[in-house]
Amino acid sequence: MAQQASVDPTKMGEGRAIAVLTSGGDAQGMNAAVRATVRVGLYTGAKVYFVHEGYQGLVDGGDHIRPATWESVSMMLQLGGTVIGSARCQDFRTKEGRTKAAYNLVKLGITNLCVIGGDGSLTGANQFRTEWKDLLADLIKAGKITATEAKSSSHLNIVGMVGSIDNDFCGTDMTIGTDSALHRIIEIVDAITTTAQSHQRTFILEVMGRHCGYLALVTALACGADWVFIPEMPPDEGWEDHLCRRLTEQRGRGSRLNIIIVAEGAIDRHGKPITCDLVKELVSKKLGFDTRTTILGHVQRGGTPSAFDRILASRMGVEAVMALLEATPDTPACVVSLSGNTAVRLPLMECVQVTKDVTTAMADGRFDEAVKLRGKSFENNWNTYKMLAHLHAPETKSNINIAILNVGAPCAGMNAAVRAAVRIGLLQGHQMLAVHDSFDGLAHGMIEPITWSGVAGWTGKGGSILGTKRSLPHEFMEEISLSITKFNIHGIVIIGGFEAFLGGLEMVQAREKYEELCIPLVVVPATVSNNVPGTDFSIGADTALNTITMTCDRIKQSAAGTKRRVFIVETMGGFCGYLATMAGLASGADAAYIYEEAFNIHHLEMNVEHLVEKMKTTVKRGLILRNEKCNANYTTDFIFNLYSEEGKGVFDCRKNVLGHMQQGGTPSPFDRNFGTKMGIKSVLWLTDKLKECYRHGRIFANSQDSACVLGMRKRGLVFQPLAELKEETDFEHRIPKKQLWLELRPILKILANVFRKRKTPEGVEMKCLKVEEYIKQTGSSEETRHLTQELQKHVSSHPGLQGRTLCDRVIRACNHQLGAGPPDREHIGLLVELVEVSVCGYDRCVGAEAQSSPLYMEKILFHIVKKLSSLKVPALCSHVAALLFHRLSPTQQVQEDHGVLVRSCFSVLWNELSAVKDDALLPPRNRLGFQLQALGFLLLDVDAAASFSSKAPKYTEEAMVEFERSCGSVTREDAAFVLQEMTELFNRTSSAQARQGSHLQTFNLFVLSEMMLLAAKMLCRAGHHSLAVGFLDEMEVKASERVGCRCTPLVLGKWAVKVHSEMRAGRQNGQPLTECARELRSLPGDLSEAGGQALLEGCGLVSWAVESRSEKG
């Protein structure tokens, strides 16, 4: 056992091959079974093959047997029928055909066969397995295969899954496709009901099923039909009179319509077929009713699979693969079945034999035995139908009054449970009391008797007709006890969610104080959340699940069309993750976040990486489900924002909060049937309990087992005392401590490929880790540089997210190193180089597909600038900012958030640089260079050119003053450095802006001119006039080339510098001022506002030059 437990599930199938085929009649849900088989097979390491066109494809071989991939089964869940095809095959019935099939399998190394079909298909598979060795011997003898090939394929493992809408296979409660077929039938019955009521008609509907009456029987229960004909239990002699009497009684009770369901294989006691036309003729002639017939036909096979069928098929597919991989040569062929709520493996031929025995029993007239052979579920359905349709209320009443109320949030199926409880109570001779508005109504006397006709038509209605509230009885326990006495209530049926459970518990606890509460009560779980202790299923959950699944199908369709889109969908359920998990399984979600399975930011990051990998495939869409209270901090908005940010350049994101639509809609067939059974069971239990508690002429119930929850536990319905369930309940989060559906979570993750094996375990992520470690080690520059070169080979083949991973690790390593002091210049250059590698890798990746969102990597770089700013490393911060600047400067068209980005980057950089006062940490030249780079961002700010960019001269003046202060004495080398930086800023910025419109170009050139003048002013103060004049002369030429005319501010500035030089030298020469005036007369007179401001600055420079004369004098 220990050895088995240690087996790695991802290696179970290594070296093995599995083929999957669908055969016989198609059924909704087959595709879900195929998908699960393929994906679990691939997950275990096995090769998986599609066999197209059923057994015919197995015989024909060639292209009919193709390898299956993970992506090849995407977008299959919501499709009806079978995408790999199904066909009747006469060839496979012959030994020659089976020999060809064996040859095709041996050549591909396939020794495991998964067959999805009916009893005939599964019987054929078992015969194929039995003959396998003989078929191999024939192939060797014919020279078609070698002995080695025969040895490697010495035995064939077979597993079956029953795909049939008829539910005619014994050994399983439900076959794949049955629930979906019921959905189609009930949709039609509901539609027919409206026209039948309008015209007071009788409708006779024929449903499929061949020789099995399951569909007809469950349809009759789900729609409240007046009569049903099934082949397993033909009507007694004289059924014609009984039927007419029954229809007449229903009309006499006020019904405006009659519904009769006929199974296609229905017969009478003599084996004579009962057809719709036969019944129509009888009703029309004998009763004179307006009668219509409808034969549903193949519409029952079509349409989208229900959530139940998708989940059932997925579970069966997983179990089927495990059965194949765990099989030995001696293991008999098995079939995966459903017993209650549990997937089990049963011997295939035993089940086939029982199925044949049913047909034999029916042919021999042993109909009671035929019903029993169909299984416990079928027998229970038949008994339920008989009680509701064929029993009559006794003439003698029981003098017992039973109250029924709904508590908590409304859900589909509540009304079906109320209807069944009322009618079975009336059949027991009780008086049934309807309590309106939950415990409020019970306290305030909102109670009235309810009759048989009072609940007519309730089965198919959603919500709660009685009315329901969340209030609990402790608020008015005394009033409730008085109402119980006033209305002489002997038992209570509470239908609802967790509030119903709490309310029943409070009433039990109050028995000591209020003797009137010492009566039997039963809680029937009915809530979309499925969070009531004591049951694995609640009424209403299936309908909500189908609503969510249908919505997710439409959302996925939208995402598939849009491409590269991920949807975040929030479901109801409180703290219970049932809806999110099961809807995720039914809709093929990539993840489902729930409270019961704690998650953190690491799990969210992993899912983002999973989606990034997924976007590389042909499936470019994602679906994430989130339970509404799974985490107080990781809200739907948070997850949406996180996915939106982390997925930029790879996918975009949308969110949907489904809300109360999950509580609405007409009940599903399952909820109608389940609600009917639960309602009947609850009243029958109360009836028995009341007999037990009757003593001395009164009813007194104070034992624990007199107040129970009726729930489904694995394979049956059980009653559990409320008091005992207290220990199993998490009252704070309103969920049971143990929930069976949590066992399905691994299936959801496997089918979503969450456990995807990384193709490059020693690739980028591992190397990023090594980079981080090397950076943390002093003197590791050479090793890191070598690793950087290796990274360049890997990062280019990965998406931008990997580049960002590298960036984050570089920042983290830099942060670690600061503990020993700031990084040296060589290390700074190396870190910047690493960032450049990641940027380059990103550009190469997204360039080919052009899928990056605008400014995606630029925003990542800004994110790094902010991180570096928080580390107080201005040099590294500015180097990365320079990289960002160079990426922004050639931008040819303005992006939506371009201005916001450059303004933000300027603010972060300027504040960071201004905060550092230590010249040793940040030398004056470095500071000024970085400040001028930061100012370059302002001149790229297209959106705020007239406001924010105009502040650039002010910041320039601050920078020059700070430079003078830091230097103490500005040397000629310092002056040359300033002019070089200013020239580079002018060239870079004016070139970038030249592509963004003439007005903006002129405006920024004037702003640049003003900045140049301020630099010249600083040089004049330091006595470097000749450098300033040469600089302004050069700038004036460049500016004139840009605008096509002389640049006034620079002309003025140049002459002002000459004036200042004369004054500083003590010469009273007026020649410069005269030449300056001559220049002014030749300049254009129409200056823009920005030009005017720059001109004033030029004039101010002249004034300053003149003023300095008086200072010298």
CB-neighbour burial class of residue 3 (10 A; exposed 0-12, middle 13-18, buried 19+): exposed
Please give the DSSP secondary-structure letter assigned to residue 345: E
705 has binding-site annotation = no
121 has binding-site annotation = yes
301 has binding-site annotation = yes
CA distance 28 to 184: 11
804 has binding-site annotation = no
3-class DSSP state of 8: coil
The 3-state secondary structure of 662-726 reads HHCCCCCHHHHHHHHHHHHHHHHHHHHHHHHCEECCEECCCCHHHEEEEEEECCEEEEEEHHHHH
Tally of CB atoms within 10 A around 581: 28
Between the CA of residue 540 and those of 139, 406, 526, 591, what are the distances in Å?
56, 13, 6, 24
574 has binding-site annotation = yes
Catalytic residue among 26, 60, 138, 166: 166
654 has binding-site annotation = yes
- How would DSSP label each residue in 806-866? HHHHHHHHHHHHGGG----HHHHHHHHHHHHHHHHHHHHHHHHHT-PPTTHHHHHHHHHHH
β-partners of residue 521 are 492, 707
Distance of CA 151 to the CA centre of its chain: 46
Contact 205, 261 (CB under 8 A): yes
208 has binding-site annotation = yes
- Asked whether the CA dihedral 750, 589, 460, 537 is positive or negative, the reply is positive
CA distance 736 to 728: 6
Contact 624, 593 (CB under 8 A): yes
628 has binding-site annotation = yes
What H or E segment, with its residue span, contains residue 654?
strand 652-657
847 has binding-site annotation = no
Buried b (16+ CB within 10 A) or exposed e, 950-989: bebbebbbebbebbbebbeebeeebbebbbebbbebbebb
210 has binding-site annotation = yes
209 has binding-site annotation = yes
CA dihedral 295, 296, 298, 299 (to 10 degrees): 150
Task: Give Cβ neighbours of residue 741 (< 8 Å, ≥ 6 apart).
Answer: 530, 536, 578, 581, 582
290 has binding-site annotation = no
What H or E segment, with its residue span, contains residue 448?
strand 447-449
565 has binding-site annotation = yes
72 has binding-site annotation = no
Among 639, 654, 658, residue whose Cα is nearest residue 561 = 654
Among 748, 839, 754, residue whose Cα is nearest residue 791 = 839
661 has binding-site annotation = yes
527 has binding-site annotation = yes
Among 16, 17, 80, 89, residue whose Cα is nearest residue 52 = 89
Among 367, 349, 347, 360, residue whose Cα is nearest residue 233 = 367
277 has binding-site annotation = no
Phi and psi at residue 227, to the nearest 5°: -160, 150
Q: For the chain, first and last CA: distance in Å? A: 106
152 has binding-site annotation = no
Buried b (16+ CB within 10 A) or exposed e, 355-389: beebbebbeeeebebbbbbbbebbeebbebbebbb
964 has binding-site annotation = no
166 has binding-site annotation = yes
For 291, the token pair is: 């009668």
88 has binding-site annotation = yes
973 has binding-site annotation = no
Q: Catalytic site residue 166?
A: yes
CA distance 338 to 178: 13
Task: Give Cβ neighbours of residue 358 (< 8 Å, ≥ 6 apart).
Answer: 170, 211, 232, 370, 373, 374
118 has binding-site annotation = yes
990 has binding-site annotation = no
Contact 775, 817 (CB under 8 A): yes
1109 has binding-site annotation = no
529 has binding-site annotation = yes
1 has binding-site annotation = no
673 has binding-site annotation = no
- Asked whether the CA dihedral 674, 680, 683, 685 is positive or negative, the reply is negative
429 has binding-site annotation = no
Contact 679, 417 (CB under 8 A): yes
**Residue matched to tokens 């080690």:** 777
Contact 180, 215 (CB under 8 A): no
Among 428, 418, 427, 492, residue whose Cα is nearest residue 455 = 418
Please report which residue ranges of 916-997 form alpha helices under DSSP H. Answer: 924-939, 952-967, 972-993
Annotated binding-site members for Mg(2+): 119
Annotated binding-site members for substrate: 164-166, 201, 208-210, 264, 292, 298-301
Annotated binding-site members: 25, 88-89, 118-121, 164-166, 201, 208-210, 264, 292, 298-301, 470, 527-531, 565, 572-574, 628, 654, 660-663, 734
Annotated binding-site members for ATP: 25, 88-89, 118-121
Q: Cite the active site residues.
A: 166
Annotated binding-site members for beta-D-fructose 2,6-bisphosphate: 470, 527-531, 565, 572-574, 628, 654, 660-663, 734
